[in-house]
């Protein structure tokens, strides 16, 4: 049975590239649940950010510096404002690492296609992520 998360994963090229990367890296069957969990996390995140930012159409369109604030807002959506604690803090911090990994995949793709403009956008986005994430999502 397909839910919205599965559809978001299945029809997104960049998430599929990341899934293929994980499958090559973690070949043992006992890692399949970890891969599945990461992909579902990405699917839920993509749905959340699409609801916040109309110009995000797929995962690759997230890696634009102007969408950084929307990324932080999507991550902070699970923040309990009364206690300033996350309902589930691990996914927010996992996404930091995963976004960096996916960003590097996009950069590799841009190098192969010789797309310097997109490469610079992704590098700028990752620079924002590295410099600001620890204070914006905490």
Cα dist from 28 to 19, 24, 60, 105, 136, whole Å: 14, 10, 28, 22, 36
For the chain, list residues with pLDDT below 70.
1, 78-90, 138
User: What integer pLDDT is reported at residue 78 of this predicted model?
Assistant: 64
pLDDT confidence of residue 132: 85
Q: Residue 15 has what pLDDT?
A: 95
Global pTM value? 0.85
Q: Kindly give, in sequence order, each residue whose CB lies less than 8 Å from that of residue 102, ignoring residues fewer than 6 positions away.
A: 14, 18, 42, 59, 63
The reported pLDDT for the residue numbered 16 is 95
């Amino acid at each position: 049975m397909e839910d919205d998360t599965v559809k978001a994963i299945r029809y997104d090229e960049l998430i599929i590239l990341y899934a293929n990367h994980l499958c090559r890296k973690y070949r043992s069957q006992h890692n399949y649940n970890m891969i599945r969990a990461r992909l579902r996390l990405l699917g839920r995140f993509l749905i959340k950010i699409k609801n916040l930012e109309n110009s995000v159409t797929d995962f690759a369109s997230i890696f634009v510096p102007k969408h950084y604030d929307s990324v932080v807002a999507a991550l902070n959506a699970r923040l309990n404002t009364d206690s300033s604690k996350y309902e589930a803090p691990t996914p927010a911090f996992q996404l930091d690492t995963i976004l960096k990994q996916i960003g590097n995949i996009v950069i590799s793709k841009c190098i192969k296609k010789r797309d310097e403009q997109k490469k610079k956008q992704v590098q700028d986005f990752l620079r924002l992520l590295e410099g600001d994430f620890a204070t914006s999502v905490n």
